[in-house]
Chains A and B, each alone.
Chain A
Amino acid sequence: MSLLAADGITKRFAGITAVDDVHIALDAGERVGLIGPNGAGKTTLFNCLLGLLRPDAGSVSFDGEDITRLPVYRRARLGIGRTFQRVELFSGSSVRDHLLFAHRIRRGTGALWKDLLGLGLPKPVEIERCDALLDSLGLGGMGDEPIEALSLGQSRLVEVARALMTQPRVVLLDEPSSGLDRAETNALADTLARIQAEQGFGLLLVEHDVELVASFTERTYVLDFGRLITHGSTADVMQDPEVRSAYLGDFAAGPS
């Protein structure tokens, strides 16, 4: 049984079928890619998995439990973490704050009465945990920096760190390479691979940078026009003529 599974997801917008009867599955500790040209339905599927969109048909399950109707925050608390294509950080907060928030909320220790009695203030041990994770991501010593002072690559790492502080069992990465150059992308991929190997969470990578997916994932799903055109081990998928034509076609038609 898979950890995170989507069965027959279909989503239509005003007559357009953005995602059409798609099945994907992800096991614990696995690195899986989801690729497709622009407009293939990757983001729609992603949002259905996270609960930002409700599918018209099909179901999403996590650890054997049907989560199709659960709101975003409930899924997050079950252990689904994510990052954003367009970086979504908490403006006005420091780097460490991001981790601290995630840590607190995951533990669900947010009772108002505790706060009012002064029991809710950050404890040294929590701050240590945050700083330890920052260290291992190469952000050591940046805990007090305001989030606005970071580069895009660092911001993406903070997003990853924030997701990891919730102790997720699956992390969904939404186009982590967008806006990064090749060197930055590689550095991000290396860090992710190391952390993932250490902590053993499942990783779903939604990307259109085929190179990154090829080097990083074990299995890959390919979407085009809302339908799953193929899936299998990443090496096999990359040789598939249909995949090549989907990408070449996209290339020939220009970016949509």
Chain B
Amino acid sequence: MTASVLAAGVVEETVRAFFQGLPIGAGFALVAMSFVLTYKTSGVFNLAFGAQAFISAATYFELHVRRDWPIWSAVLVAVVLVAPALGLLLERLVFRHVHAASAVAKLVISLGLMVALPELFKLIVDYNREQPFGAVGIIPDGTTVYRLFGRYPVTRDEIAAFVIVVAAAVALAALFRYTRFGLRIRAVVQSPRMTELNGVNADWVSSGSWMLSSFFAGLAGVLLVPTTSSLGTVLEPQGYFPIVISALAAAALGRLVNLPAALFGGLALGIVTTQMRTHVPRDNVILAELQGPALPYVMLFAIIVFWPAIRRQVAGADPLLGVSPPPPALAATSRSRGMTIYTRIMALAFFTAVGIWTFGYANNFWISRITHSVIFSIIFLSIVVFTGLGGQIALCQVTFAAIGAFGAMQFAQRWDISVIVGMVAGAAIAAAVGAVLSIPVMRLGGIWLAIATLAFALFFHDVLVKYSWVGGSLFHGRGVPRPEFFGVDFSSRENFLILCVAILVLVGVLIILIRESSTGMALRALRGSETAAESIGVVSWRSRVIVFSVSAAIAAIGGGLLAMEERLVGYESNYDPQTGLFWLVIVVVLGARTVEGGVQAGVAFVIFPELVLDRWLGLHGAWRYVLFGFAAISFARHPEGLLEHGKRRSQALMQRAFGRRQPAMAAAGAGEPADSGTETGGEP
């Protein structure tokens, strides 16, 4: 008797969780399908999707809640006008010009847009997120509750979300299968150049598909407001990010190209989430976390690593990609001797001047800023190793930096070990974590590696950091000391700056040594052609492990120094995974291929908003996100970085002006590259 009552209770709970999960899943499915749509139609792995959704939702909120427009007109403007217009703008101004670029270049651009768009919107519209608002959906009286089968509660919002999502799925499937537009979209995705050779205007097809996918983003934006309001205020600029990442897991099920898989994956993810919330016991910390926000990240990581379709997927290459000119040689390898000497003298003079000013005249504020720039330069050198040397994109350097910071803190506070030893130990731990992480993602390339590492970073952020053996107690992460060794006390600002500069120089020299030696040779070979590299005996997994652990160790050293400089770990302000995305953007924009590029990015990250934006131009600090975010667009054209590009041009100009003969390398590398991942070789 009691057993059957119990069983009936379990059944009821399961069914209830099913109906609760369906609308959540519908939200995921809508985002996942839009993701697939964008990827299918433009080859862009659009992490800016959340930003597009946010802009529509915020527009809707502005019009309906703050200006009392009726729902229909606010939706009309936000979803039917603003969203496609934004899509058209993005396509016309950005993605049209990069459609032949590699998937990784497009990913970087979308990261830049993800950072830039919401900030720009806020600066233009004077959007005030502090304003309280009710979670107002687009359905009148959306919170009205109905009971399915007289028992299971669902709201009107939830029913509407589900119906709209299913209708959208059917419409999309029909579009791709039965219309000329759908056929052309598919052709353009494969090879825009090839499609144009067949007489189709690829640009128009591309515009149309971007407007369509942006419309879906807008729809998702306004639809998700009530569904996710329980997770917190969605109308934050980056509030859509967790939902986008969750939906990614669903989209990954279909390798980003299969719409039905995205639909069912999204629904399944929603249902699994609520089922776990209902049935899995909460007494175990890990199990409890898995019911919360961590589940999508774990699933995303697992799907990328274990889903055979993804493991087998080779980055689709445009058959006509080979017609693009190759990336140019670095400026430093193509300059004449006179130029080299001139450059070195100028650099020496510059650093001497900065040194004299810093130690003679600068106040505490500027010394601290300069120390910060040096430390961020070290952290950014880890991106130089991974992206510049290794030729891959990882989005978890922020996690390694955090590990270094926590390492220094834990060793100093718990065991009273010298903080510098703690920093080194933290670097060793980060290197080990990096090596372990590199194993499951070994065979992944391009965007999948980027997403897998992002999932790892988010998992660390949402789960691991809460453990006391990782993050300590976050609110007591204060009191990180500055080091003292060999009888020198580095606790004063000036001395600590000298220590940081010494470490930066050391790390920079080591990176150059690696780049020019056997390890660097193997990496350059692998980046050029993995098949050819293996044919001469390069062990690709070994190189991968080295890149992961060396770059993790460098980031961790930077993190340790940052903790000493700030005398606390400051996890929330320094090591948020989204901050890490901005790190990547700023480094690749300025130049990820050289040590100089990393240092310039570090200086720009810290000094630029203070000096140029605030003091000279009197602009809000958020403009840095807008400027560098949009500058990411240049990555497709100049994968070597803007500063490197500028350097090469000014160098060529000067050499011409002084009548120097141009070396052969410079002449051959002078062509403007259109993309980064070009296969080499002569004409086919």
Q: Which residues of A contact B (CB under 8 A)?
A: 50, 52, 71-74, 76-77, 81-82, 84, 86-94, 97, 100-102, 104-106, 109-112, 114-122, 144-152, 154-155, 159, 162-163, 165-166, 179
B516 at the interface (CB under 8 A from A): yes
Question: Given the interface contacts A112-B519, A120-B519, does A92 sit within 8 Å of B538 by beta carbon?
Answer: no
Q: What separation, in Å, do the CA atoms of A114 and B535 have in the docked complex?
A: 24
Q: What separation, in Å, do the CA atoms of A90 and B130 have in the docked complex?
A: 53
The chain B residue sitting closest to A82, CB to CB, is B535
B22–chain A nearest beta-carbon distance, Å = 38
A121–chain B nearest beta-carbon distance, Å = 5
A-B contact pairs, 18 of them (CB 8 A): A76-B537, A84-B532, A87-B681, A89-B528, A89-B680, A90-B527, A91-B326, A92-B326, A101-B536, A110-B518, A110-B522, A112-B546, A114-B518, A121-B513, A145-B665, A146-B326, A148-B668, A148-B680
**Pairs of residues from A and B, 9 with the lowest C-beta to C-beta distance, nearest first:** A90-B528, A120-B517, A152-B682, A87-B681, A91-B680, A110-B518, A115-B517, A76-B537, A88-B532
Contact B536 A76 (CB under 8 A): yes
B659 at the interface (CB under 8 A from A): no
B652–chain A nearest beta-carbon distance, Å = 16
B664 at the interface (CB under 8 A from A): yes
Question: Given the interface contacts A76-B537, A116-B513, does A86 sit within 8 Å of B525 by beta carbon?
Answer: no
Question: Given the interface contacts A105-B538, A148-B325, A152-B681, does A90 sit within 8 Å of B519 by beta carbon?
Answer: no
Q: What separation, in Å, do the CA atoms of A72 and B537 have in the docked complex?
A: 7
Q: Which of B510, B520, B536, B680 is A162 in contact with, Cβ under 8 Å?
A: B536
Contact A116 B510 (CB under 8 A): yes
The chain B residue sitting closest to A77, CB to CB, is B537
B539 at the interface (CB under 8 A from A): yes
B539–chain A nearest beta-carbon distance, Å = 5
The chain B residue sitting closest to A146, CB to CB, is B668
Number of A-B contacts (CB under 8 A): 157
Q: Which of B325, B536, B550, B669 is A102 in contact with, Cβ under 8 Å?
A: B536
B594–chain A nearest beta-carbon distance, Å = 13
Contact A109 B518 (CB under 8 A): yes
Question: Given the interface contacts A91-B679, A145-B664, A151-B682, does A73 sit within 8 Å of B539 by beta carbon?
Answer: yes
Q: What separation, in Å, do the CA atoms of A78 and B683 have in the docked complex?
A: 32
Question: Given the interface contacts A87-B681, A115-B514, A148-B326, does A101 sit within 8 Å of B524 by beta carbon?
Answer: yes
* B contacts with A: majority SS: helix
Q: Which of A81, A102, A106, A147 is B680 in contact with, Cβ under 8 Å?
A: A147
A52–chain B nearest beta-carbon distance, Å = 8
B531 at the interface (CB under 8 A from A): yes
Contact A89 B521 (CB under 8 A): no
A residues within 8 A CB of B665? 94, 144-146
Most A CB contacts (10 A, CB to CB) among B527, B537, B550 go to B537
A residues within 8 A CB of B664? 144-145, 149
Contact A101 B522 (CB under 8 A): yes
Question: Given the interface contacts A121-B513, A147-B680, does A89 sit within 8 Å of B537 by beta carbon?
Answer: no
B634 at the interface (CB under 8 A from A): no
Q: Which of B518, B528, B536, B684 is A86 in contact with, Cβ under 8 Å?
A: B684
Contact B683 A152 (CB under 8 A): yes
Q: What separation, in Å, do the CA atoms of A118 and B327 have in the docked complex?
A: 28
The chain A residue sitting closest to B680, CB to CB, is A91
Question: Given the interface contacts A81-B536, A121-B513, does A104 sit within 8 Å of B681 by beta carbon?
Answer: no
A residues within 8 A CB of B546? 112
A120–chain B nearest beta-carbon distance, Å = 3
Question: Given the interface contacts A120-B519, A146-B665, does A90 sit within 8 Å of B680 by beta carbon?
Answer: yes
B residues within 8 A CB of A148? 325-326, 668, 680
The chain A residue sitting closest to B330, CB to CB, is A92
Q: What separation, in Å, do the CA atoms of A49 and B138 have in the docked complex?
A: 63
Contact A86 B521 (CB under 8 A): no
Contact A87 B519 (CB under 8 A): no
Q: Which of A117, A121, A166 is B537 in contact with, Cβ under 8 Å?
A: A166
B533 at the interface (CB under 8 A from A): yes
A residues within 8 A CB of B521? 97, 100-101, 104-105, 110
B529 at the interface (CB under 8 A from A): yes
B residues within 8 A CB of A112? 514, 519, 546, 550
B614 at the interface (CB under 8 A from A): no
Q: Which of A91, A100, A114 is B528 in contact with, Cβ under 8 Å?
A: A91
Contact B525 A101 (CB under 8 A): yes
Q: What separation, in Å, do the CA atoms of A150 and B668 have in the docked complex?
A: 10
Q: What separation, in Å, do the CA atoms of A81 and B497 have in the docked complex?
A: 52
Contact B513 A120 (CB under 8 A): yes
A112–chain B nearest beta-carbon distance, Å = 6
B672 at the interface (CB under 8 A from A): no
B540 at the interface (CB under 8 A from A): yes
The chain A residue sitting closest to B667, CB to CB, is A149
Q: What separation, in Å, do the CA atoms of A179 and B532 have in the docked complex?
A: 19
B166–chain A nearest beta-carbon distance, Å = 35
A54–chain B nearest beta-carbon distance, Å = 15
Contact B668 A149 (CB under 8 A): yes
Q: What separation, in Å, do the CA atoms of A162 and B531 have in the docked complex?
A: 13
Q: What separation, in Å, do the CA atoms of A152 and B684 have in the docked complex?
A: 8
Contact A50 B681 (CB under 8 A): no
Q: What separation, in Å, do the CA atoms of A147 and B326 have in the docked complex?
A: 10
B residues within 8 A CB of A150? 682
B residues within 8 A CB of A82? 535
B residues within 8 A CB of A154? 682
Q: What separation, in Å, do the CA atoms of A163 and B535 have in the docked complex?
A: 8
